[in-house]
Amino acid sequence: MGVGHGHGHGHAASRASDRARLRWVLAVTGSILVVEVVGAWITGSLALLADAGHMATDAGAVVLALGASYVASRPGGARSTFGYHRVEVVAALVNAVVLLGVCGYLAWSGIGRLSDAPEVDGAALVGFAAVGLVANLVSFLVLSRGDSSSLNLRGALNEVMADLLGSALAIAAGIAIWVAGWHWADPVASLLIAVMILPRAALLIRDSGRVLLEMAPADLDLDLVVHHLSHAPGVLGVHDLHAWTITSGMTSLSAHVTVTDEALEQRGVGAILDALDECVATHFGVRHTTFQVEPASHEAHEDLGEIH
């Protein structure tokens, strides 16, 4: 059996950079949350309160993402042989579920206010929402320069994106109220915020679920993997192939590879393993691999068990 190891140091450096970005965003989010809560109280705006409530979930999401990143960086123990990388994926899933809860609250409150929209101070709403817009834009730019493949960071980025759009809609509602007296614009804006959050939350749940269910990565064609491995020198066949994701950007692959007895005798197991590792690393970018090399004469004696 042979194992090819990945690039742990590069992943650790990426995590450290992401944590620095998340800490910065947490400071900005916490400050603007206070401003928007005060603004919602002064103006009576549901849209601004919705944005403030979402900012509160953002702050929690960033704290969760930070904590998950620190835990994921810990070395694995005797029982946790893959380490704690999956904590980041669980954090992303929790963030997505919280986003769905925010959607439900905004939809319920917005629909309730459509029939009897209260008066809102449009000018003050524009001012407070503008402050939030600038802060969210800065946070978005900071996070968008991080590791785009990280589900954990994507969860926090999705929260900030929703806040950015929420602030823009709150400004639009404030202008409509201020200029034209359209007070129903406030609950409509809160409903639109809910509609925009929903698909991002659903996508994050889908992607997190794929990792936790250990499904093969969507961008990895397993039939093509088998094709490439089967054409390596001396290989007769490939079976019991498994591919899964430990955490974002860390794909693992294992397979049983049947080779001719002559190839084993002439080249040795080491050379064959090197060829298999190089094959999947070059063509598919997968560097955490485990191959069980089996001589053709052993094939009749193989027992894979019930689950394979």
Give the pLDDT band of residue 223 (cuts 50, 70, 90).
very high
Helices of type H across 44-121: 46-72, 86-114
**Which CATH code of 3.30.930.10, 3.30.70.20, 3.30.70.1350, 1.10.10.10 fits the domain covering 222-301?**
3.30.70.1350
pTM score: 0.68
Give the domain 8-212 fold.
Alpha-lytic protease prodomain-like (1.20.1510)
Task: Reduce the DSSP state of residue 259 to 3 states and report it.
Answer: strand
Token digits for 245? 């994701």
Token digits for 278? 């190089």
Which position has the higher pLDDT, 128 or 247?
128
Pairwise CA distance, residues 202 & 221, whole Å: 24
Placement of tokens 């499904």 in the chain: 215
- For residue 259, what are the β-bridge partners? 235, 295
- pLDDT given at position 225: 95
| pLDDT surpasses 80 at 49 | no
Using DSSP bridges, classify how beta strands 250-259 and 2-4 pair: parallel, antiparallel or unpaired.
Answer: unpaired
Pairwise CA distance, residues 72 & 16, whole Å: 11
Fold match between domain 8-212 and domain 222-301: no
> Domain extents for the chain?
8-212, 222-301
Q: pLDDT digits over 255-307, tens only? A: 999 999 998 999 999 999 999 999 999 999 898 899 999 998 876 655 555 55
Q: How far is CA 156 from the centre of its chain?
A: 8
